[in-house]
Structure 1
Amino acid sequence: MLRDYLTDLPLIAILRGLKPENAEAVGNVLVDAGFRLIEVPLNSPDPFHSIAILAKAMPPNVLIGAGTVLDPNDVNGVRDVGGKLIVMPHADLDVIRRAKELSLVCTPGVATPTEAFAALKAGADAIKIFPAEATPPQIVKAWRAVLPQDAIVLPVGGIRPDTMKAYVEAGANGFGLGSALFTPSMPVEEIGRNARAFATAWQALRKG
C-alpha cells in the first residue's frame, strides 16, 4: 500500500505546527506539486482537527496521517478522524503493532540497525532514519547492505533539495521533509515554491 503512494514522488510532507484554518490551503499546494503523503505531527495545534480536514479535502490518492505519535491510544484517534498514516520519531513496538492492527501505514523512526530490524519485524511499512543529520549517506549505505532488500528507507531531518542525491545513491527510497518545506509562518505561496523545488529535484535524480 505504501509503495503505491511513493511511486511518483516519494516525499512525505511534515507539517509541524500546522493550524486547522490553514490545513486545506497548504494541502492543496502540496498536492498540486505532486505530493501524495502528508503528516501532521501531534504536537501541532489541534492536530486531529487538521488531519480530519485534510483527510476530507484531499483527493483519495493522497495518504494523510499523523507524525510524532507517541501513544498507542493516539493511533485510534488518528484512525477515527480519517488518518491512515502513523509516523513516529522512535521505534515504539506497541505503536507499530496498534497501527497494523488497525490496518494503517506505519513508519517508525530508527537510529540503529537494531531498531530498524525490530521495527520491520513488528510490521513497519518503512523505516524513518531519524535524525538524518546524524546518519550520513555512508552509514545508510552500510545499513542497506544488511537490511532486507525490499525495506523502504526514508531519511528524515535536515533534508534539502541539494542533499537528496547522496542519500539516494546510498540506497534511500525517499524522504520526510520538515522545515525546508514548511513552517507555520510561511506564506502558502512559499510552501508551494518549496514543494515544487523538492519535486523538481527528485525528478532530476530519477532521470539522472
Structure 2
Amino acid sequence: MDLSTTLRERRLMAIVRGTHAEAALETIRVLAAEGIGLIEVSLTSEQALDVIARARDELGPDAALGAGTVVSAQDARRAHAAGAGFVVTPGFGDGVRQARDLGLPMIVGALTPTEVIAAQSAGADAVKLFPAAAMGGPEYLRALRAPFPDVPFVPVGGVDADSGRRYLEYGAPAVGVGSPLIGDAADGGDPGALRARIKAFLSATAQAPR
C-alpha cells in the first residue's frame, strides 16, 4: 500500500486497543462502516493478531489495516503474517528494522529532533509524533515543521477533535486517535456512542484545509 498517500487522503487513523477481542473486531466493523478507512490495531490488545487476521478477512486485501505498538522483530513478523498492511511503532528499535526488511510501510515513533532524524534514516513512511500532547500539542508540531518541513508527522497521544483539526491545519497529513475516539467500545462499550464520536471527529477533520 502507498501509506503516504493513504494518510493524506484519510486524515484520521483510528487506534483500536481493547480488552475484549470480539468487541475490538466489532469496533473495527463500525469504524469501517462509518467511513474511517485507516485503522491501527495495537498489539497490546487482547488477541490482537487474531483480531487483525479476522478483520483482514472481512475488510479485504485493500483495506488500510495495520498493527500498532510494534516493538520487537517478532512483533513485526507476526503482524505481517496476520495480514497487517503497515506497522506503527512507539519508537525506534528492532521492530522498525524487521518491518523494513519485510517491506512493510512504517509509521515510526519519535518525539525529539534527533529521533525524527533517526526515523527518517530508517526509511519511515511517516513519523508518529508521540506523545504529542506532552510536548505542547499543535504548537510543538508547528515548531518541528520549521526544521523538518517535508517530514509527514502523524501526531498521536491526547488528540481530541479540536486539536486534531489544528494539527491538520499545521501541516500534519493525518492524526492518530485512540481513546478519545474509541472510548470503551473495544472493551464492550456502546457502539452507538462510538458512532457519535466518529461523526464528531470526521466533522472536525473535514474543517481543516488540505
| TM-score under structure 1 length normalisation | 0.91
Greater alpha carbon shift after TM alignment, 184-193 vs 79-88: 184-193
Matching residue of 1:168:
168
Deviation at 1:118, TM superposition (A): 0.6
Q: Secondary structure at the match of 2:133?
A: helix
Distance in structure 1 (CA, Å) of the matches to 2:60 and 2:7: 15
Say whether 1:66 aligns with 2:67: yes
Distance in structure 2 (CA, Å) of the matches to 1:139 and 1:71: 28
Distance in structure 2 (CA, Å) of the matches to 1:91 and 1:119: 7
Deviation at 1:164, TM superposition (A): 2.0
Distance in structure 2 (CA, Å) of the matches to 1:198 and 1:166: 12
Matching residue of 1:144:
145
Q: AA paired with 1:159?
A: V
Contact 1:5 1:62 survives alignment (8 Å): no
Distance in structure 2 (CA, Å) of the matches to 1:7 and 1:147: 17
Aligned residue-pair number: 205
Q: Secondary structure at the match of 1:147?
A: coil
Contact 1:23 1:54 survives alignment (8 Å): no
Matching residue of 1:37:
38
Q: Secondary structure at the match of 1:189?
A: helix
Deviation at 1:77, TM superposition (A): 0.4
Contact 1:38 1:65 survives alignment (8 Å): yes
Matching residue of 2:111:
111
Distance in structure 2 (CA, Å) of the matches to 1:66 and 1:200: 26
Runs of 5+ unmatched residues, structure 2: none
Matching residue of 1:12:
13
Runs of 5+ unmatched residues, structure 1: none
| TM-score under structure 2 length normalisation | 0.90
Matching residue of 2:53:
52
Q: AA paired with 1:51?
A: I
Say whether 1:134 aligns with 2:137: no
Contact 1:14 1:38 survives alignment (8 Å): yes
Distance in structure 2 (CA, Å) of the matches to 1:175 and 1:109: 13
Please list, as runs of the form range in 1=range in 2, the aligned pairs for 1:170-189 lying within 5 A after superposition: 170-182=170-182, 183=184, 184-189=187-192
Distance in structure 1 (CA, Å) of the matches to 2:9 and 2:179: 22
